[in-house]
Structure formats: C-alpha cells, structure tokens
Amino acid sequence: MKAFDRKLPPVLARLHCLPFDSEEGEGIDFEPYEQFESAKETTGWLRAWTGNEAVEGGEFRIFGQDGTGGYAAFWLVREGKPLPEQPIVFFGSEGELGVVARDLSDYLWLLAGGIGPYEAVANEVKAGSGKKNTAFTDFAMKHAPEAKKSPSAVVRAARKEFPDFEKTIRALCR
C-alpha cells in the first residue's frame, strides 16, 4: 500500500470550512474531514466494505462521511488528471453505492442544491429535490460558475459517464 499526500485540494479545504447542517434530516448529512484518510485506513476500510482482503484502496481518497459512517471519496480513474477533475463516489454503511459527481465542480453544485453524497445515492434526485443552500450556492458561484447545474443534472451526468462504477465495486465483494 503506497502512501499518498493527505492534503485536500485548496477548494475542497475551503468548502469544508462551511457549515454542513443536516437540519434534522432536511439538510445535508455530511461530516467533512480536514485531510484525506491515510492509505492504510483507506485500504482497511475498503477491505472491510468489500469483504475482500486482496483489494487495495489506492484509487480512492476519502474526504468525509455521513452520520452513519458512509464515506465520500474521489475515485482516481482519470489517469493523469488532478484530484479536482476526478469523480466523487459514495460508499454507504448499509451497502449504498454510487458515483455522485463527475468532478469537484459538479460536486459543489450538488451541495448548492441541498444534496450531499449520501442523499445522491440513497434517494432518487429529481428536479427540485433538496433544499437550496445559500452558502454553498455562493461558494459554487465563486469557484465553479461554468459548471452550474441542478443536483439532478449533476447525478445524471455522473452516472452517464461512469455507468459501471457500482458493478465494478460489487464485483470486488466477497
């Protein structure tokens, strides 16, 4: 297992300074991290999640979790591209699994629409779902104005680009 830089990309680090408030089930259920999980912790978690002692966690950078312990992570599948250009995925504590955003810019707009990683995977994201969040909208407008789209469009685009993510991960499970 190869160690990696645990420092978050600057935009993600600034995003994690904003208040994530689940608003008693009506907001975003997310606990952001100040740095990525270590390579050792990531591999240990992926082995536990899949039940497969042979897997390594090197293609994931975990940057936060929901209240039940499900993880949000960058999935490093775009060779040679920086972290902010990698897709964001979610592994739920009860087996929920999915790609939630094509990249960090789209992720910002998912949050702006009041949808977090868990909500994007556990619920059907329809037009108008989610409670808009002014702080996250302002942040997205500042850091990714060119990527502006609805949460449903974010999730749809991610699933269209990475249709085999869930099948790929489930194939690792024992």
Q: What is the pLDDT along the chain (174 residues), one digit of tens a residue?
A: 676 889 999 999 999 999 887 666 566 889 999 999 999 999 999 999 999 999 999 999 999 999 889 999 999 999 999 999 999 999 999 999 999 999 999 999 999 999 999 989 987 766 556 678 899 999 999 999 999 999 999 999 999 999 999 999 999 999
Q: Bridge partners of 91?
A: 71, 97
pLDDT in the model for residue 129: 61
Whole-Å CA distances, 40 to 6, 58, 61, 173: 12, 9, 11, 19
Cα 28 from Cα 56, distance rounded (Å): 29
Q: Which amino acid is at 104?
A: L
Q: Bridge partners of 65?
A: 31, 71
pLDDT in the model for residue 25: 56
Cα 157 from Cα 162, distance rounded (Å): 9
Cα 41 from Cα 159, distance rounded (Å): 27
pLDDT in the model for residue 13: 97
